[in-house]
Every structure is written in structure tokens, then in C-alpha cells.
Amino acid sequence: MFYKTSYLGFILLASFIVCRGQISTSNAKKNVLYNILFISIDDLRTELNCYGASHIKSPNIDRLAAQGVRFENAHVQQAICMASRASIMTGIRPEKYGIYTGLAVNDVLPDALTLNKYFQQNGYNIASCGKIYHHKIDTKKQFGNNEMKPKGTWTGRGYVTPEAIEKIALNTKYNRGPAYEFASVNDTIYKDGLNTQNALKKMEELSKDDAPFFLSVGLSKPHLPFTAPKKYWDMYPASTIKLTDIKERPRNGYNKAIRTGGELKNYYGMPELYDEIDDNMALKLRRAYYACISYADAQVGKLLDKLETLGIRDKTIIVLWGDHGYKLGDYNSWCKWTNMHLDTNIPLIFSIPEGKQNSVSKTPVAALDIYPTLVELNGMQKPNHLDGQSIVTLLNKPDTQKQRVVFSIWPIKREDYSKTIMGYAAKTARFNYVEWIKMSSGEKVGKEFFDRQKDPNETLNLIDNIEYTETIAFLAEKVAERIQGTNHDHPFKQID
């Protein structure tokens, strides 16, 4: 276990020198600390206009991408809100210390030097609006009075219409309303709009202080339920919505790799199993998801506009990230919870004052890299416990094609160690290799290998194809190193 680093008594002032779009972190030139606007978007896959999805209306995220570096192969380390966010904010891989179980940071790593605490200890004013940590106890412990809590008038998980609210009571099994709702109201009537309004007020307040700020804004949409003002639903006429092209589960794939049911069933009118969702409902759900993307995008626009209005855009680093990808009927499944590219791949955009603009990096990067990158961008000392690596070099030279391997995991039956099967995935720009291992015995119960260059939708498991023997052996070695290099110092047993 590591211990919280003490920074009391000094503040590391850093230089952040930019010359012709090149970022330097030398302390020798000038002392300056940049503000950080830290934007998280829940359940957002890379189906955005700036990522090539022309049917999605995301002008503000597109604007941000044009002002920075967009990463095409960014991956979270576990495709679920709880563990992904805990891993990003602590800088620690989720297979360590039991993070993968989904427990609160306060439960598994109460002494962790988190990203927000690190910057606070280095002289930053910190504030939080919306969802950054998954668990309320973590938000309270991490931000305290620096959390801006919305005082909304919605009911349950965000419903405002009488029709939707009535359905909560009718759903006696799960006590949730419908999967989507679109009322003719202003943005601030729903949670993300109100949180953004609070963030704008907080940004103005923080901008008046001499100290730099770390302002985190967590947008909940497009997470279920898909609720947003009706004007965003109207942006996507029913005739323009199409079903996924990925109809079937991967051929020859591990039979437990993709779930048959899950979160969606909790909402009123939704079936228990995904294969019971008909095409008509699938089209409505996809339309609702797209509408929520545009709602979240509008909030991003307000944040960007406020930086300009306050005259602090050139003093602020912006990072926008998703906490995991999402399936919209793909593989005859919904939501997240796999090691498939669709679930681990996230939008990740860094916009640095006077840094590279309108640039794209195809090099694989990990969400774990966000923490050390922000540290280096401000010329600070990297905490020893961080598992990620700074990607400042890619912000300088985004087109650098490094043969980098990033990792993700997915635990099946994570709540019962004796039955837990852990999927360890090693990903490159082209390949996705997964080993499924029974935690209690170390037995390998399944393997998968996908070539995304030839099969971008990962529809065929090529694990037995002799053409890839050397590549599979290389990635298998990387997975073995990962497992052997992991300190399973948590209440659960180690892999024997």
C-alpha cells in the first residue's frame, strides 16, 4: 500500500513554455500554473462528429477537438462507471486493491493521493459539479464544501413529466421510470443543464482568485435514463435513425464475454433479456441516446463560451474524457461491461494553450495516462504511485505511431471471488487479445484475438489462426507480465 504524499510547506510552480505548438515542462523559464477544466461525460462512446460519425450533432465537442489533440485509441481500464472513475482519479489500475469490485475509493484506497487532491495540495482551488466519482461518499470526501450540489425539481433518476413519474410507481420490481423522456423544457430543468449553470457560476468565481483552479464538471448524459429537453430529440428525426450493423455476437468468441441482460431491464417497459428488444424499440433507444449526446454537447459549449467570456481560455488546459464506451444493440447487447473495443474505447481530447490544434493521435493510450499527463503539463513532480504514463510527447507529435500496448479488464461475477473469471485484455492500435482466467485457480478458460484492421467490428475470434501465432504469443506475454506485476493487495485472494 502507498501513502499520501505530503506537499505541505511548498508549492511547485512550473513553467509551461509553448513554442510553435511544442509543449515544454522545463522549470527554468517562467513560473506559471494553468487552470484545468476537467470534463467527464458518462457512457459516451466515440460516436461523435469529430470522430467520423457525421450523423451525430456534436458541434461543441467538435470545436474542442479542433482546438487540441483528439485520441482515437484511448481506452479505459474497466468498462464500468465505478471502477473506471476510481482508476482514473487515483491513477491506479483497477485490478489492484480490489478497485475492480466497484467499491468506493473511500473503502479500498482511503489514503490515495487522488488527482483533485494532488492539485489542491499544489496550490489549486478545486471544485466539482456533477458526476466525477461514482459514489457519493467519494465526492464528499474528495471535494467537501467544494462540491456544487444541484437543487433540482426532477423526480427519481431525472424525470420531469407526470407520465414518466407515474411509471416509477408501476415498476414495482426496480422502482425506475421509463428508459427515455423528452420534455419541452429548458436545459436547466434536467440535471446536466443545472450542473453546468452551477459550473459557470463557479468558474467566474474561481477566475477572480490569484490561484489557478481545477474545475471538474461531470455530465451524466448519455447515461440511462435517456432524459433531455425535447429540442434535442427533435434534432434526430425517426427516419434518420438506423440499427447497428453488428447484429451477432463474435463468432468463436468466449461464451461469457458479452452479457445477455443488465441495466436496461431496470427501466419501465424494458424486457429482462436483450434479445427481447425488437427493432422498433432499438431505434427509439438509439435516437434517445443520440439526443442525449447533443444535450451533453450543448453543455460543453457553454463551458467553452464562458472561458472565452472571462478571458481565461489561454490560461486553461481542457481535457474531455468518457468513462467507457457503450453498446447500442451491438452484438445483440446493450450498455457496457466487456473488453470489446466498443466498450473500452473512449473520447479523449486535450486542448492546451498554444499547443497543437486540430490534431489526431492514433497511438493507443490509457485513461490512466490522464493523471500523469496533467501533472507533467504543469511541470510538477509525478507521484510515485501512478500506473499510467504521461502522453505529453503525443501532444507535441500526435502522429507518432508507437507500438504501444494498453490494458483493460472485465471481471465476470466480480462479487463472488470463488466464481470470478477475469478477462485480461492487451490492446494495440490493431489487435485486441483477451485471456479469461478463473481467479481462484488461475485456470485459463477462454481466449480471444481480434484483428481490427481486417475486422474493425471485432466479429470473428482469430485465436486459432496460425497467421497470428507470433502476435498472439507477444500479447500473451504482455498479459502474463501484467498479472505478475500486479500487487493483489486487497481482501480478495491472489491468482494462484
CA distance linking residue 433 with residue 435, whole number of Å: 7
CA distance linking residue 65 with residue 358, whole number of Å: 6
Closest CA to 2 of 156, 109, 139, 118: 109
CA distance linking residue 41 with residue 14, whole number of Å: 29
Closest CA to 167 of 282, 266, 269, 265: 269
Cell numbers at residue 149, please? 450540489
Closest CA to 287 of 389, 164, 179, 369: 179
Closest CA to 87 of 120, 117, 109: 109
Catalytic residues, which ones?
A: 81, 134
Cell numbers at residue 158, please? 431525472
> Burial letters for 298-313: b for 16+ Cβ neighbours within 10 Å, e otherwise?
bbbbbbbebbeebebb
**Using omega within 30 degrees of 0 as the cis cutoff, is the peptide bond preceding 225 cis?**
yes
CA distance linking residue 462 with residue 451, whole number of Å: 8
Q: Are 156 and 165 in contact (CB under 8 A)?
A: yes
> Burial letters for 84-111: b for 16+ Cβ neighbours within 10 Å, e otherwise?
bbbbbbbbbbbbbbbbbbbbbbbbbbee
CA distance linking residue 299 with residue 219, whole number of Å: 8
Closest CA to 38 of 299, 321, 367: 321
